Structure 1
Amino acid sequence: MDTTYSMINFYNELKLKYKDYLKPEIISIVMIQSKDDVYLETTEVEIVETGLEKYTVKRINLDFITDSDEDEGEEEIYFDLKDSIENNVKKFIDDFSPYSIVNTTDIFHEEACEKIATKYKAFGIDG
């Protein structure tokens, strides 16, 4: 059975936008899209005792993230399969809020998560 999917590495764009928030051990952030799923994949590197590099790849399906349409009272999948991968990556970079990133991924370090959550809870500021 053949599987076809597209991948876009947008680590550099997120690093520019969230330079003080991203976990320093992350070296790659990739969106993967097939006809059935949209994933976010991160790669982290750690130097182990022997001096070797240990890579950890984490992949999450983004199908649990929804966007509510208050007018219609419906929820739609945010990273929609009907959209191109380019559009889904653009939505992640430009439209997906820092507070949403904190609540759905683990790409920000703990201090950044606390800062974002505090601003959101205290002031309704998302970022």
Structure 2
Amino acid sequence: MSAGYVYILINSSMPGLIKIGRTFRDSRARARELQSTGVPTAFEVAYEVFSEDYEALEQNLHEYLSEFRVSGNREFFRYPIRMAIRCLQDLSSPPRELSSAFSAESIFHALSNKYGAWLEPYIVDVRIVQTQERVWLEITEEEEIAGYLVDQKIKRTDLAFCSGELDGTRYFDPVDSVSTNASKFLKEWCPYSIIMTTDLFHHDACLEIQNNPKFNPHTDGSVPA
């Protein structure tokens, strides 16, 4: 029995298909390794979970979705991504040390569709990451020159400081599933909240949001002298 990650990958060039695999390293590094001249767009990590027996977990998920497998010797499945994530969550057993229980869901694709013009250009992935006790926003930035990766930065922001306005309870609660917290960030966390709590948007976007009363309840739209 060995520990590692079971991941679900998506690719915009393969609508309706997901790839389910395992790695003992970083899932995003594995996704980059799958890039080839035959695939025009990059794979993205839609979801991953840490398991103390990642081989058995991957096998169980493959067997559960066997009738949706595209080819017997490939790890591609024609199956809805949300349902696949739920299956992986249901099949995952908590590790012996609860503090090490870990799950993550990428929201980069959804953020790009919603706020593409505002995102920092070097951001390559944004994930909601959580354990039994904490929920983080994880931002990965990469800079490439002439096709070579020259720098990578991964920044995690603990979202525990985000609380309800009235009762002070944690807005992103680790009691909830990572999918629930990801949905909250995408659908309920407004642009003004994003610029006040994260480094997702570039400087011009922050100014635009800051000075627009549609987004900022504290301004009348006038630009200070």
* Shorter-normalised TM range: 0.7 to 0.9
Letter in 1 for 2:129: I
Q: Partners of 2:117 and 2:138 in 1: how far apart?
A: 20
Q: How many residues align?
A: 118
Answer yes or no: is 1:122 the counterpart of 2:215.
no
SS in 2 for 1:99: helix
| Deviation of the 1:105 alpha carbon | 0.3
Runs of 4+ residues over 6 Å off in structure 1: none
1:34 to 126, 131, 136: 131
Identity of aligned residues (%): 33
Q: Which has the higher contact order (CA 8 A, sep 6+)?
A: 1
| Contact 1:48 1:54 (C-alpha < 8 Å) held by counterparts | no
Q: Partners of 2:123 and 2:145 in 1: how far apart?
A: 15
Q: Partners of 1:111 and 1:66 in 2: how far apart?
A: 27
In the other structure, the counterpart of 1:22 is 119
Letter in 2 for 1:98: P
| Deviation of the 1:43 alpha carbon | 0.5
Answer yes or no: is 1:6 the counterpart of 2:93.
no
TM-score (norm. length: structure 2): 0.50
| Deviation of the 1:35 alpha carbon | 0.3
Aligned pairs for 1:38-117 within 5 A: 38-47=135-144, 52-69=149-166, 74-117=167-210
Deviations, residues 28-70 of structure 1 (Å, cap 9, x unaligned): 0011010010011011012369x5421111111100111112x
SS in 1 for 2:169: strand
Q: Per residue, is there more strand in 1 or in 2?
A: 1
> Which structure is larger by alpha-carbon Rg, 1 or 2?
2
Structure 2 spans left out of the alignment, 5+ residues: 1-95
Q: Partners of 1:43 and 1:12 in 2: how far apart?
A: 13
